[in-house]
Every structure is written in structure tokens, then in C-alpha cells.
Structure 1
Amino acid sequence: MQEFSIQDSLNGIIDKLGGWLDSLVLNLPNFILAVLVFIAFIFIAKYVGKLFDRITKNQIKQDSIRMITIKVIKAIVILIGFFIALGLLNLDKVLTSVLAGAGVVGLAIGLALQGTLNNTFSGLILSFLPEIQIGDWVETNGYAGSVTEINLRNIVIKQSDNNYVIIPNSKIVEEPFKNFSSTTRSRVFVNCGVGYESDLEMVRDLTLDVISDLFPQRGNEEVEFLYNEFGDSSINFVVRFWTDATKNRDLLVAQNKAIIAIKKAYDNKDINIPFPIRTINFTNELSLNKAKG
């Protein structure tokens, strides 16, 4: 009875192995085709990465962002090839399980790294935006400086005091920012005031001549002079003009030159630039002195 049982077990194993062998022989063409497809997608991923690198080399100046983006694209292409290979092997259940598992894992990773992924996608957006590039002088989130680095987590700004500020990419995408380097010409504002005894028309013409000679205007640009306030001790005005400026320091330099030139011109014409004066009257006698008298 025992010998019969062992013999039946051996026959069952042999039949099972035979069935597997037959299945392997029948599916061998599909297996070879699946392997070839997967290898082909590996080469396709390699060439797609090179093509993307060639296309975006001038658009994405930050090498770290470009290289990581290329790796992500390669991984996506290889995964597509992997799923196609599983389909050729008729492993639909395995493919469904892999996709379901990938969805669950992706959801868990997305929830755990929500802030990091937000900064990563913001970094990819910033890398393609022409409005902000490495070397630009920007003002954002209360900081101003030159952009020295853009990566997948943050941008690095070098301020005028030589200190570096690291700002998360999501803050740059969500908050407004001012880019001084996006235009080569900027308008400068200089505020001043003259005494009430001044000839206002003469002050206006003199100021316009001084600024026009110091800062030549182009095209439709012009120097503008406008009185805007009767102050406590002066009649105040603002003069506006255009100059070459790609960072905040250029505006400060232009204001400095304009103020020096205006002061010299006013001194030569005896034009008074008053400052607030407080007058204390000592003519009234104190009540104490009156009592003594």
C-alpha cells in the first residue's frame, strides 16, 4: 500500500514537471519576445534621456535638476517596457497586483513626503520658467539678492550683504517675486523739496536739464518732474527718469548720482532745499517770575 502511494506521488510530480515543461516550451516565444521588448525599452530610455538633455540644455541651467529629470524620464520609460513585457507573458494577474501595489506605495509615499514633493515639482516648474534664472537679481518673500542656485528643493539667493538665503521652491511659485534682471531699463524716483520762495518753473526746468544730461533717455522714455505736496517747510516734488538697471544696486547708484547733481545745480542757483525747523519762543515770562515781580 505504501509503495503504491509513493509511486503515485512520483507520477504526480513527473506529470506536474511535464506540464510545466510543456507550458515553458509553449510560452518560450512569448518569453523571448518579452525579454527583447524589455531590453529594447532600456535602450529607448537611454536615447530619450540623451534627447531630453540635448533639448533642455539651454533651458535648464541647473545641472542637478536636468540630471534628476532625465533619470525620472528613463525610469518611466523602463517601467512602461516592464508592464508591456508582463502583458506579453499573459501575466495579467501579476500586472494587476503590481499596479495595485504601486498605487498603494505611491499614495503612502505621497502623503509622507507631501511637502518635499511639492518643492520638487515646484523646482521642475522653476527650471523651465524664463522669468527666473541663475544670476538674476530678485526680490521675494522679504529677501533680495542674486540667484546662485536652483535645485529640486529650494533656490539660493545671495544678498547684498554677502549672506545666503535658502527659500523653498513652493514659496517662490506661490508668492509673487520681482525680477530686476528681466528688463535692462528701469525707472528711478528721486524725491526732493524747495523753499516756498523759489521760482517753481525755474526749478522744474533746471532739474529736467540736469537729469536729462546725466541720464540720456531712449525712444519713448522721458524725464518727468511733478510737484506733489505743500510740505511743512518746502514744496515737494518727484523726478522720474529711466536708466540701465538689472539689479537693485544700479537703482541706488542712479539715485546717488541724481541727488549729487541736483544739489550742485541748486547751490549754483541759490535754490534753497529747506529742512524742518522748530522755533522755540522765549518772549513770554514764566508765571513764577511774574509772582516774584
Structure 2
Amino acid sequence: MESTITEAFNNLITKLQGWLNAVIQNIPNLILAIVVMVASYFIATYIKKLVLKLVSHKVKQQSIANMIAKISAVVIVMAGLFLSLGILNLSKMLTSLLAGAGVAGLAIGLALQGTLSNTFAGIVISFRKRIQIGNWVETSGYSGEVIDVNLKEFVLKEADNHIVIIPNKTILENPLKNYSLANKMRVFINCGVGYESDLEQVKDLTQKTIANAFSDVKSAEDVEFYYTEFGDSSINYLCRFWINTSDLLEKKRVKTKAIIEIKKAYDKAGINIPFPIRTLEFNNKLSFDEAILDNQYSNN
């Protein structure tokens, strides 16, 4: 029994001496690995500040800029970690870490597929110069001002002050109309006048009225006027002109003012804008029996 304990104790001493010798032999590598890790930390801090400064000039969303800066810092630290493990000749541990990171990354990616899609879509949208905060856009059936683009969602404020939150992935995969990119917008007005109207007079009066109402319209010739059809009760026309604005709400205000001014001008000139009328006649001379027969005939 005593010999067994002595043998075990000697084995332990031998093992500890082997570890001590291994540590002493690898002290230079250990010091170098520590230096690499510390250097990678400071380099990552500097890279984070530099990336944040550069990205902030391109991306107005601070949350996305911070995320990109943090990702760059993590990449630098991970590179320092793998380099340190290589210096310590821990290739098996390095391989295990890489394999574990791959499996964990796959599991996390499958679990957070929707979230990651929105995150990367938000990053892509933030770098698009044609989509900026403050733009008036229309997408996915909604129209409003862009008030925020973060890592998860695209936020619009509609004309009625309602807030619409749309996933970034939806914005990236669907068409988007940006009204703020152009500095000019065209206003369309559809109307009709009575068949008894002087069509040349209607055309000239409409063009002059719009030209006098808006400073953006230099002359009556800048107002396009086209008769489109002979309607049921009116001769219909299309009138359109350009205004210097990129605001959709301003376009609606201009259209409202144009309709008001055209109505005033037509009333003053005696031009009729027809509307559907239903006429009921009560002077029918048919007898009661004939009316019943007619009703039964129509039902059959």
C-alpha cells in the first residue's frame, strides 16, 4: 500500500515538473502571445473610433454606425486571439474553436434568420444615397416621411401623422418611390365642361388662370391642356403643369389651389361644370291597371 502511494506521488511530481518545464520553455511564446492580445485590443479600439468616424459621414443612423464600428473591433480582437493561439502552438484548440464557432454560427443564423435579414438590410439601406431621413417615399402601400432607419425597421410618418413601421427586408425587396429626389413635380387636373361651352375659351381661360395663380408657371404656354373624351354629360379634359417642389404635401396644396382658382374663373365666365342629374317625372298619364301590367311585363 505504501509503495503504491509513493509511486503515485512520484508520478504527480514528474507530471508537475513536466508542466513546469513546458511553461518555462514556452515563456517567450506566452509573453509574445500576451503582447499580441494586448496590441490587438488597442488596435481594435483605434479601428473602432476610426471606422465610426468614417461611417458617420455616410450613415446618418447612429445605431448602425456604432454596430459597424463594433463589428470591425470584434474582427480585430478575434484575429489577435487566433494569432496568439497559433504562437502558443495550440493548433488543436484553434481548430476546435473554429469548428465550434462554425456550428454555433450556423445555429444562431438559423434561429435568427429573420432578425439577421432585417439587420443586414438596414445596413444596405443606410448606405443608399437615394434613401435618406427626411425623404418623402412611397413603398409597400404606404406613403410618408422617413423618420428613422435602424437595425430592425424602416419608420415612416404618414400625412395624417400615423407612424408606419416596416421591416428592412421588405423595403429592400420591394419597389420604393422617392418623391424627394426630384426638384420638380407635375400636377394633374382632370375636369369637364358642358357641351354648350366654347372649348377654345375654356382652354385659354384654364391656362391663364393657372399661370396667374402660380409663380412657378412662367406663362400660359407652360400649362399643358388636352381634351380627352366626350363624356356622358361633359367634354372632359386633362390639364398638367410643373411646380418647383419635392414635397408631396406641397403638390396636394398646389392642386387644391388650382381647383379653387379654376372654379372661380369658370363661375365668373359662366362656364358650366356638369354633374350627373337624375330626373323623376310624376306626370305619367298611364292608368293604374296599365302601370301594373307594365310592371309585370318588365318583371317577366
Give the TM-score, by structure 2 length: 0.88
Gaps of 5+ in 2: 292-300
Q: Give the structure 1 partner of residue 294 of structure 2.
A: none
Q: Give the structure 1 partner of residue 240 of structure 2.
A: 240
Q: Give the structure 2 partner of residue 33 of structure 1.
A: 32
User: 2 CA distance for matches of 1:116 and 1:42?
Assistant: 29
User: 2 CA distance for matches of 1:187 and 1:287?
Assistant: 59
User: 2 CA distance for matches of 1:58 and 1:264?
Assistant: 51
User: 2 CA distance for matches of 1:206 and 1:162?
Assistant: 38
Gaps of 5+ in 1: none
Structure 2 vs 1, CA of residues 32 and 252 (structure 1 numbering), >3 Å: closer, same or farther?
A: same
Deviations for 1:42-85, whole angstroms, at most 9, x for unmatched residues? 11211111111111213211112211221122112211111111
SS of match in other structure, 2:225: strand
Q: 5 Å matches for 1:130-145?
A: 130-145=129-144
User: 2 CA distance for matches of 1:115 and 1:205?
Assistant: 58
Letter in 1 for 2:278: R
Q: Give the structure 1 partner of residue 49 of structure 2.
A: 50
SS of match in other structure, 1:38: helix
Deviations for 1:189-219, whole angstroms, at most 9, x for unmatched residues? 111111112222222222222222333248x
Q: Give the structure 2 partner of residue 146 of structure 1.
A: 145
Letter in 1 for 2:255: Q
CA shift, 1:283, in A, is 4.8
The answer to whether the Cα contact below 8 Å between 2:52 and 2:68 also exists between their aligned partners in 1 is: no
Moved more, 226-235 or 242-251: 242-251
Letter in 1 for 2:256: N
Indicate whether 1:225 and 2:225 are aligned.
yes
User: 1 CA distance for matches of 2:22 and 2:82?
Assistant: 21
Q: Give the structure 2 partner of residue 155 of structure 1.
A: 154
User: 1 CA distance for matches of 2:29 and 2:223?
Assistant: 78
Deviations for 1:77-116, whole angstroms, at most 9, x for unmatched residues? 2111111111111111101100111111111111111111
SS of match in other structure, 1:57: helix
Q: 5 Å matches for 1:173-212?
A: 173-212=172-211
SS of match in other structure, 1:238: strand
SS of match in other structure, 1:198: coil
User: 2 CA distance for matches of 1:236 and 1:150?
Assistant: 44
The answer to whether the Cα contact below 8 Å between 2:190 and 2:237 also exists between their aligned partners in 1 is: yes
Structure 2 vs 1, CA of residues 82 and 217 (structure 1 numbering), >3 Å: closer, same or farther?
A: farther
The answer to whether the Cα contact below 8 Å between 1:180 and 1:245 also exists between their aligned partners in 2 is: no
CA shift, 1:240, in A, is 1.0
SS of match in other structure, 1:134: coil
The answer to whether the Cα contact below 8 Å between 2:210 and 2:217 also exists between their aligned partners in 1 is: no
User: 2 CA distance for matches of 1:119 and 1:285?
Assistant: 74
Q: How many residues align?
A: 288
The answer to whether the Cα contact below 8 Å between 2:233 and 2:275 also exists between their aligned partners in 1 is: yes
Structure 2 vs 1, CA of residues 41 and 233 (structure 1 numbering), >3 Å: closer, same or farther?
A: same
User: 1 CA distance for matches of 2:82 and 2:236?
Assistant: 74
Indicate whether 1:74 and 2:73 are aligned.
yes
Moved more, 116-125 or 139-148: 139-148
Q: CA RMSD in A?
A: 2.1
Q: 5 Å matches for 1:79-90?
A: 79-90=78-89
CA shift, 1:282, in A, is 4.2
